[in-house]
């Protein structure tokens, strides 16, 4: 039974739109304060690829070498109790319109200069 009919897949201060990094990205619709917990991105479950079920918040976060958020690995959630998961937290103030990014390990790319090329497109 659904107890909270106001549930949204993303917080009201985030939206999805085209990214200059890759495909679609997650963007701030208002200023976000440093230290803001943006929510759960992945829930641990061995039945899924890489042992994590990716949630809507985690589906559109792109990588950046100098990210504005960090991934935090947790064992509990205030509302859900004991549940192994990943959430993201703002490392600094994020301005309205900015893309939400984290630094994560990616597969080896064919183009070794991809980071340089990304930086000059920004």
- In the chain, what are the domains? 14-106 (2.170.270.10)
Q: Above 80 in pLDDT, residue 50? A: no
In angstroms, the CA 78 to CA 83 distance is 10
- How remote is the C-alpha of 107 from its chain's centroid? 18
pTM > 0.85: no
pLDDT in tens, 20-41: 999 999 999 999 999 999 999 9
pLDDT in tens, 87-103: 999 999 999 999 999 98
DSSP-H helix ranges across 9-93:
56-59
């Amino acid at each position: 039974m659904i107890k909270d009919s106001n549930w949204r897949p993303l917080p009201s201060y985030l939206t999805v739109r085209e990214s200059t990094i890759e495909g679609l990205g997650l963007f701030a619709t208002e200023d976000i304060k440093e230290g803001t917990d943006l929510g759960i991105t992945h829930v641990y479950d061995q039945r899924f690829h890489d042992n994590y079920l990716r949630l809507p918040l985690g589906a559109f976060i792109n990588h950046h070498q100098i990210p504005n958020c960090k991934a935090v690995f947790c064992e509990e959630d205030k509302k859900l109790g004991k549940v192994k998961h990943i959430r993201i937290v703002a490392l600094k103030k994020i301005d309205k319109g900015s893309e939400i990014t984290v630094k994560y390990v990616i597969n080896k790319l064919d183009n070794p200069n991809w980071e340089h090329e990304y930086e000059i497109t920004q």
